[in-house]
Amino acid sequence: MSKTVLEKDKNNLESNEAKAPREKLFHIAKRMDVSLQYKIIVRVISIVTALLMCAFVLNIFKPGKFFTIFSSSFNALTGSTNKFFITLDEFAILLGISIAILPAFKMKFWNLGAEGQILIGGLAAVLVSKYIGPYVPNVLCTILMLIFAIIAGGVWALIPAFFKAKFNTNETLFTLMMNYLAMGFIAFFEQVIDPAHGTIAQLTNGTFPDATDNVKTIIAFVIVVLMTLFMFGYLNKTKHGYELTVVGETRNTAKYIGINVKAVIMRTVVLCGILCGIIGYFTVLKQKSISPNIIGGKGFTAVMIAWLGHMNVVEVIVMAFLVAFITRGSSVAATNVDLGSAFTNITIAIFLITILAFEFFLNYEVHFNKKIFKSKKEVKEVEE
């Protein structure tokens, strides 16, 4: 008798399920309070998974080379003095750009134009060195280069910021286009300075031609460290930092508590431009020239670093280091196994996309529908 009842129950259950098609297997809810411990665990898992994914991708293209990427990364870091300095340079530039765009992102201003701001700053420095350099002493020339780079970067950043503040123009697309305008200006001046070759020859004035590249890398690194410390203080300890955070959270609240929103937008983005100008200056100092592709899309990588670092200085440092580490590693590995420079792009993208995917677990939680699972389980238990 019991068996028939059970069968009946089972049938009932099944028919109930069929009748209620809207019952979902799981639903997603916003995670409200996330403990620091949970955050760190998710982060560590995401980074480890991302590194493994990079190794896995290399393994697809060159079977049996799973660990090559790690060994190359460590080799790039500790192999020789020169290799170390190249890695340090990569790290310094990535960290510098990420730190420079940090305040804008904290204000939810999508500044994709870091590359353009750096290029324009660098171009200003080049022009000063070219046209003012011969008439002034070297030290004065380099100071002038720095000053003009800062001004140029700031002005370049002010243009989209002004229109954002005035008309609420979409800054994502605006700053994106400004990158290419900056490249256009450089291409233009390349033709103006040397119409025969269309490139800018090595500069001598104000670029310290006697100093080695390694020394310049150290200088750049020190400047970036100072910038990072400044930014930490600026965002966390000053009134400016507080104001831009409020503007980023809700613009109306900012307005009602008496913050001049337009002024804050322009001020913050100009700060980004100034810092980018400084980066442009030491890029020129090192390369002694400039070309449209000198930054090579690092502005975009920095955007991803700043976003995945949650606009938090400490996390950004870690992310920038990891990206520099994996970039150098994959570029060394690619030369070793003959895959070409394009492979670096793939590893960076895979690395960042994997971490991006894990963001989901920080922001949301998945609730499985206990009713469905339980009823299935009960049926199973009864059957047994």
Partner 1 sequence: MFIRLLKEAFRLTPAFLFGSTGETLTEKSGHLNLGTPGIMCMGVAGGMIGINLYDKICGGFENASPVLTFIFVVFFALLLGALSGLIFSFFTVSLRCNQNVMGLAYTTFGIGFYGLIFKTIESSHFQSIFFYNNYCSTINTLFISDQACTNNFQYLFGANGVLWFMSFTIAIAVAVVLKRTKVGLFVRAVGENAGCADAAGINVSTYRYVTTIIGSAISALGGLYYFVEMNVGLLEFGNVDAYGWLAVALVIFTLWKTDLGILGAILFAFLFKLPEIYGLPSPQLNMLFQYLPYFVTIIILVMISAFDKKAAQAPGNLGIPYFREER
Looking at the DSSP bridge assignments, the partners of residue 365 are 29
Estimate to the nearest angstrom the gap between the alpha carbon of 281 and the chain centroid. Answer: 20
Q: In sequence order, what are the beta bridge partners of 366?
A: 28
Question: Tokens 């030290």 label which residue?
Answer: 139
| Residue 222 interacts with partner 1 (CB under 8 A): yes or no | no
- Contact in structure between 149 and 280 (CB atoms under 8 Å): yes
Choosing from 70, 190, 241, 309, the residue that interacts with partner 1 (CB under 8 A) is: 190
Contact 123, 150 (CB under 8 A): no
Number of residues that bind partner 1 (CB under 8 A): 57
* 369 counts as binding partner 1 under rule CB under 8 A: no
Does 348 bind partner 1 (CB under 8 A)? Our answer is yes
79 binds partner 1 (CB under 8 A): no
- The secondary structure of residue 201, as a DSSP letter, is P
Cβ-based nearer residue to partner 1, 90 or 243: 90
Question: Exactly one of 50, 146, 176, 275 binds partner 1 (CB under 8 A); which one?
Answer: 176
User: Residues 79, 134, 137, 198: which binds partner 1 (CB under 8 A)?
Assistant: 198
- The DSSP code sequence of 76-119 is HHHS-HHHHHHHHHHHHHHHHHHHHHHHHHHTT-----HHHHHH
Which DSSP category does 135 fall into?
G
Q: How far is the CB of 177 from partner 1 (least distance, A)?
A: 5
Pick from 6, 20, 48, 187 the residue near partner 1 by CB under 8 A: 187
Q: How many other β-carbons are positioned within 10 Å of the β-carbon of residue 80? A: 10
Distance CA 254, CA 28 (A): 31
Asked if 279 and 118 touch (Cβ cutoff 8 Å), the reply is: yes
Which range, of 6-14, 143-151, 246-254, 297-305, touches partner 1 by CB under 8 A?
Answer: 297-305
By the rule CB under 8 A, 109 interacts with partner 1: no
Whether the Cβ atoms of residue 241 and residue 311 lie closer than 8 Å to each other: no
Report the alpha-carbon distance of residue 69 to residue 342 in Å, rounded: 15
DSSP annotation of 291 reads -
The yes or no reply on residue 300 touching partner 1 (CB under 8 A) is: yes
Q: How far is the CB of 367 from partner 1 (least distance, A)?
A: 12
Q: Which of 56, 74, 180, 368 binds partner 1 (CB under 8 A)?
A: 180
Between residues 141 and 165, which has the closer beta carbon with respect to partner 1?
165
Sole binder of partner 1 in the list 34, 45, 215, 353 (CB under 8 A)? 353
Q: Is 332 in the site for partner 1 (CB under 8 A)?
A: no
Query: Which residues contact partner 1 (rule: CB under 8 A)?
Result: 28-30, 61, 110, 112, 163, 166-170, 172-174, 176-178, 180-181, 183-184, 187-188, 190-192, 195, 198, 297, 300-301, 303-304, 307-308, 338-350, 352-353, 356-357, 359-360, 363-364
